[in-house]
């Protein structure tokens, strides 16, 4: 545990930020999973709706620095390609 006041504050801030990023990552994974489940069920309408939501989550993750932009582009490409193949 830090002794310096500013470092104590920083440690608390890091915990809060870590929790927020963890929640956002979890929501992102869930959104991607919903797309994959809809694809497996061959439900094009549900897959399209889930894809829109997943792309939104992916873009937010890049904006907040949770994932790299190339990772996001690859994920969006793979998901879109899978949905379009239905």
Share the mean pLDDT of the chain. Answer: 97
Q: What is the 3-state secondary structure (H, E, C) of 11-44?
A: HHHHHHHHHHHHHHHHHHHHHHHHHHHHHHCCCH
For 42-47, the CB contacts below 8 A with 24+ separation are 42/86, 44/83, 44/86, 47/83, 47/86
Is the predicted pLDDT of residue 27 greater than 90, yes or no? yes
Report the share of the chain in percent with pLDDT over 90. Answer: 97
The phi, psi pair for 57, rounded to 5°, reads -65, -40
CATH of 5-84, one of 3.20.20.60, 2.60.120.1130, 3.40.50.2300, 1.20.58.110: 1.20.58.110
């Amino acid at each position: 545990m830090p002794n310096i006041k500013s470092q104590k504050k920083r440690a608390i801030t890091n915990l809060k930020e870590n929790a927020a990023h963890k929640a956002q990552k979890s929501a992102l994974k869930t959104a991607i999973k919903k797309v994959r489940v809809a694809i497996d069920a061959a439900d094009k309408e549900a897959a399209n709706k889930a894809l829109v939501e997943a792309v939104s989550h992916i873009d937010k993750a890049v904006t907040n620095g949770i994932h790299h932009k190339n990772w996001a582009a690859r994920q969006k490409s793979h998901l879109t390609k899978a949905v379009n193949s239905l």
